[in-house]
């Protein structure tokens, strides 16, 4: 899984502080803008990390289901705490099927919440 795929799965809490306590965006527009910024940063590792940190500050809308919250936190944490694309690819391969499903749930939630 490359950074672009992971970013789109995330175009989604917890980077270094733990999951479940993310800030709430003022609107779906703020959430979608932060998601788009992360997606557009793919291909530039440092920019992806900056965008992931910024997205954490925006957080998830209140209606996000539990699996989306877990995937959001996991994905952002992976991006922020990983040193390179190669290391990220390795770490993603080690995730459980449930963790992969949580990441995919973020992708579906973003697609539903953020019309292109």
What is the DSSP annotation of 94-108? TS-HHHHHHHHHHHH
Helices 28-40 and 3-10, interaxial angle, to 10°? 180
**Token pair of 106 as six digits:** 């973020």
What pLDDT band is residue 22 in, cutting at 50, 70 and 90? very low
Dist CA 72 CA 66 (whole Å) = 10
Dist CA 63 CA 13 (whole Å) = 14
* pLDDT of 17 over the 50 cut: no
What is residue 66's predicted lDDT score, i.e. its pLDDT? 97
What is residue 16's predicted lDDT score, i.e. its pLDDT? 32
What is residue 7's predicted lDDT score, i.e. its pLDDT? 54
Residues 6+ apart with CB under 8 A from 75: 6, 9, 10, 12, 103, 106
Residues 6+ apart with CB under 8 A from 105: 65, 67, 68, 71
* pLDDT of 39 over the 80 cut: yes
What pLDDT band is residue 93 in, cutting at 50, 70 and 90? very high
Name the residue among 24, 112, 35, 26 with its Cα closest to residue 76.
35
């Amino acid at each position: 899984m490359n950074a672009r795929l992971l970013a789109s799965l995330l175009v989604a809490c917890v980077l270094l502080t733990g999951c479940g306590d993310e800030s709430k965006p003022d609107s779906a527009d703020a959430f979608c803008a932060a998601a788009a910024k992360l997606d557009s940063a793919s291909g530039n590792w440092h920019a992806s990390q900056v965008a992931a940190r910024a997205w954490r500050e925006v957080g998830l809308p209140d209606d996000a289901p539990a699996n989306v919250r877990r995937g959001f936190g996991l994905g952002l944490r992976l991006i922020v705490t990983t040193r390179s694309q190669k290391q990220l690819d390795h770490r993603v391969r080690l995730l459980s099927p449930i963790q992969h499903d949580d990441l995919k749930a973020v992708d579906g939630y973003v697609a539903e919440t953020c019309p292109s």
